[in-house]
Structure 1
Amino acid sequence: EKNLREGLNFRLPDCLRILRLGRVPDAFHARRTAAKQYSYYFQVGPVNLPHLQRYTMWCRHPLDGAAMEAAVRSLLGEHDFSPFASARSGAVSRVRRIDEAAVTCETVRWPGSFCGSQHQVWRLRLVGSGFLKQMVRGIAGTLKLVGEGRRPAEDFAAILASGDRQAAGPTAPASGLWLERVWYPEQEGIAFLEE
């Protein structure tokens, strides 16, 4: 194992390193077996802060966190996520499982008196077994409408049940989307790869 690890690390660029090696079950698939955590960030304030604009979606008006949290609870479990995904997704099955869905908020203060105000950064966090093309961005775009009071939180369950992309809101910009973590769940029999 040590010789293989060292040989592979010699060939890899410096930014990649193999720390441990081990056997996996025959049914293991590097991409499909992995759990993923995506977050989408909304910046809320009177102006689009320059240091955040490349990493968040700017919202001028306050968002209703309680309504947003109620909406994302509908996403938990196994569903056909077609309404939130790109119509051009090449996935054979559009059924995915969301294990965790949460909405949180932090206040951001810029040093000095830049803009003379505080900004909020809202975070949509989704953990699941797999995601369709633009699925998280479709959820985020619809969630923004809920947060602004333009759609009720109950719409999320109805949108999922409809199976219709037109029922959901617009796809949010890519700037707020972050793939934050990828790991292999212990129940898959490959706990040695866990962080």
Structure 2
Amino acid sequence: MRNIALKLMYNGTAYHGWQVQKTETSVCETIQIAIEKICGHPVQLVGCGRTDAGVHAERYIANFRTTSKIPVERLPLAINTHTPPDIAVEAAFEVAEDFNAIGSCIKKEYTYRIYNSKIKNPFYVNRAYFYPKKLDEVFLNRAANMFVGTHDFRAVRSVGTPTKTTVRTIHYCHVARNGELLELKVCADGFLYNMVRAITGTVLYAAEGKFLPEEIPAILERGDRSAAGPTVPAGGLYMTRLWYEDERLNG
């Protein structure tokens, strides 16, 4: 039995997230069906994280086990012939027997994109959050930096998937501007349900004068979800980078 890791990307607009759903179309199910067509047997695809409905991935790792003898270098093209245009497998690698896309992941980076302009842009619909008020990226970055470190992040999560602990370590959280596009990038050892979208909403609340950036640590310490900012729309969120011991999967 071979253990195969896939490096892939997808536009999540048409899907109800990564995880297989009973009544909704998911990214995982769509790729599984494609793999089963070429491998000739059922497979269970394990993803590196549960992206929510409408969330995108510029980098995503998933693995499955197969008895198929298809050469690993031929798998991406073969799988892509059976997937829709909004999902693409970039590369495939044979990995160690004990490799697991989520369990073996060391840390992840998400990017939240904000289109900051007075005039809306049709090409960013479901791809970035349209925010017409002028934002100061230096101020936003000051607020974003307040999330760095090991904290209990229950103040910036939504009720959803059960978790043993709400403590996570954020390695960096910063904001940069490229023209009218703002990007908030956050890297952590793990994420809670809607955590990045709530962090972004909290940073925007600070920019709107609801509280000072320096008050964010106290909001985290209290663990009061109502004191933090709102959960911003899913369409602006992307999984953008992953780290593994197997360096072929990094980037």
| TM-score tier after normalising by the smaller chain length | 0.7 to 0.9
1-side partners of 2:181 and 2:130: how far apart? 9
2-side partners of 1:90 and 1:8: how far apart? 38
* Cα offsets for 1:71-93 (capped at 9, x unmatched): 12121122111111012331121
Indicate which of 71, 75, 87 corresponds to 2:143.
71
2-side partners of 1:62 and 1:10: how far apart? 46
1-side partners of 2:138 and 2:118: how far apart? 21
2-side partners of 1:55 and 1:10: how far apart? 29
By percentage of residues, which structure has more strand?
2
Cα RMSD over matched residues? Answer: 2.6
Aligned length: 176
Q: Against the structure 1 CA distance between its residues 5 and 181, is the aligned structure 2 distance closer, same or farther, given a 3 Å change threshold?
A: farther
Report percent identity of matched pairs.
30
The one of the two structures with greater contact order (alpha-carbon pairs below 8 A, sep at least 6) is 1
Question: 5+ unaligned residues in a row in structure 1: which ranges?
Answer: 108-119
- Structure 1 runs of 4+ aligned residues shifted over 2 Å read 7-12, 14-24, 147-151, 190-195
Bigger Cα displacement from structure 2, 4-13 vs 85-94: 4-13
What is the 5 A alignment of 1:75-114? 75-107=147-179
What is the 5 A alignment of 1:1-195? 6=71, 13-14=79-80, 15-16=88-89, 19-23=92-96, 29-34=100-105, 35-107=107-179, 120-184=180-244, 186=245, 190-191=246-247, 193-195=249-251
Q: Against the structure 1 CA distance between its residues 77 and 29, is the aligned structure 2 distance closer, same or farther, given a 3 Å change threshold?
A: farther
Question: 5+ unaligned residues in a row in structure 2: which ranges?
Answer: 3-67, 81-87
Structure 2 letter corresponding to 1:62: K
1-side partners of 2:183 and 2:119: how far apart? 18
Residue 30 of structure 1 deviates from its aligned partner by: 2.5
Structure 1 letter corresponding to 2:145: R
